[in-house]
Amino acid sequence: MANLDAHLTKRSCGETANLVCYGTAGNPLWTMPPEFDCGEWSLPIPDAGTVLVLAKHIKPRTNSSVTYTDIARTINGGADPTSAEKAASLLGACGSGGGMQGVTVNAKDPAYNTPGYIASKAKPQDIIIKLVRAASS
């Protein structure tokens, strides 16, 4: 478990007072609009080292939009996770071996009930987060 804790250590991402790394002060949502294919986009993670974080749209006709907080929880279990939450996260389930998992959505998050979100007809579903080795490593 000590090895897992080393992977869960919070790292600086160039965070400023605006909290842009997690979209807190700006747009808190990662959105993948409807497309004709199952797009796979890299998430902008500064100083990610040997890890590439990808978001894959598994139902391309869906307007999918999830919070950065839900993406982070999917990867590491969230802020101050319980042992069960850590184990259910990508890092907990896959360790340093990479892997993929559907975004763990908190449907009670107020971001999903704003007038803008409702008007967008987006759904907090159909996005998988993948952790893979970066091509340069």
Q: Could you read off the pLDDT of 26-69 as tens digits, one per residue?
A: 568 889 888 888 888 888 777 777 788 889 999 989 999 999 89
Instruction: Give the length of the chain.
Output: 137
Q: Find, among 60, 131, 67, 54, the residue nearest to 104 by Cα.
A: 67
Read off the pLDDT of residues 97-114 as tens digits, 9 standing for 90 and up: 778 999 999 999 999 999
CA-CA distances (angstroms) from residue 57 to 2, 8, 32, 41, 48?
33, 26, 7, 9, 22
Predicted local distance difference test score (pLDDT) of residue 98: 76
- Given a cut of 70, is residue 7 above it in pLDDT? no
CA distance 12 to 67: 20
